[in-house]
């Protein structure tokens, strides 16, 4: 299965402009044979937690969600769009919605690990483990940004059967995450991890870019630098049990680990 990762610069609360960038990327991805487009965290509305909380209504979010589904349908490609939840501003979290190529909602995840004081003051954390969704012959899981920095989050997705973990992110000034932690999460769970970031200056932050796809042995299947771009990579199933190791999933002793933590 080919997937595409969009790396671009959003403008906070310029939903029309941000969605236009997503649609252009979706068409380019489809032309290159991709079946799914992964976009960065909160890209349709821009990454600006306090501004989103203060100025974006539930009706605004609903309208953006409808348009994201329409982009998937018009482009004929599955789409992961990270959006504020549809609840009232004081009750919503950061979500990632997987739309199918006909615009249908296949799954939704709410970010569990909120990062920093601004996110924690602007959003509510999720409490549910990542869903695993079957698409294109693969089991896909979704977590968001800071989640991937916690080994428990990727392990929960892998234990539920995820073969590819999709990670919309908004990462600034922490290049060790895509360069070290993303390949490590892929290796230790023997699955592919796709990590799509913003780039450039946005809402007072300077985003790293460095979007990356790491394969199940920690190998880099594709990566971008600091500029806008579209990364297309071929991803596949988890290596068969009994294949060349490591065998972390098979050898873990969860009955002991649960007693220690």
Which of the residues are catalytic? 41, 111, 145
Task: Give the DSSP letter of residue 99.
Answer: E
Beta bridge partners of 192: 164
Cβ 169 vs Cβ 197: under 8 Å = yes
Contacts 24+ apart (CB under 8 A), 234-239: 234/1, 234/2, 235/1, 235/2, 235/3, 235/138, 235/164, 235/192, 235/194, 236/1, 236/138, 236/163, 236/192, 237/137, 237/138, 237/163, 238/163, 238/190, 238/191, 239/190
Q: Characterize the bridge pairing of strands 212-214 and 229-234.
A: unpaired
DSSP string, 100-167: -TTS-EEEEEE-SS--HHHHHHH-PPP-SPPPEEEETTEEEEE--GGGGGSHHHHHHHHHTT-SEEEE
- Report the first-to-last Cα separation within the chain, whole angstroms: 37
């Amino acid at each position: 299965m080919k997937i595409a990762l969009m790396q671009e610069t959003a403008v906070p609360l310029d939903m029309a402009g941000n969605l236009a960038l997503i649609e252009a990327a979706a068409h380019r991805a489809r032309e290159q044979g991709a079946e799914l487009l992964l976009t960065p965290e909160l890209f349709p509305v821009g990454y600006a937690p306090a501004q989103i909380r203060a100025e974006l209504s539930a009706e605004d979010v609903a309208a953006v969600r409808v348009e994201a589904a329409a982009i998937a349908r018009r482009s004929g490609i599955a789409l992961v769009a990270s959006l504020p939840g549809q609840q009232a501003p004081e009750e919503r979290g950061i979500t990632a919605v997987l739309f199918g190529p006909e615009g249908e909602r296949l799954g939704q995840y709410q970010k569990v690990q909120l990062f920093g004081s601004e996110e924690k003051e602007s959003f509510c954390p999720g409490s549910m483990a990542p869903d695993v969704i079957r698409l294109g012959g693969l089991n896909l899981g979704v977590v968001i940004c800071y989640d991937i920095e916690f080994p428990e989050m990727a392990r929960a997705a892998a234990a539920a059967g995820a073969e590819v973990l999709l990670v919309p992110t908004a990462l600034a000034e922490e290049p060790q995450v895509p360069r070290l932690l993303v390949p490590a999460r892929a290796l230790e769970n023997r699955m592919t991890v796709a990590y799509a970031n913003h780039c450039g200056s946005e809402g007072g932050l300077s985003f790293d870019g460095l979007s990356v796809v790491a394969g199940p042995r920690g190998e880099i299947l594709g990566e971008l630098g600091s500029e806008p771009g579209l990364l297309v990579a071929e991803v596949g199933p988890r290596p068969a049990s009994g294949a060349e190791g490591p065998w972390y999933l098979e050898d873990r002793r969860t009955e002991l680990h649960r007693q220690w933590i």
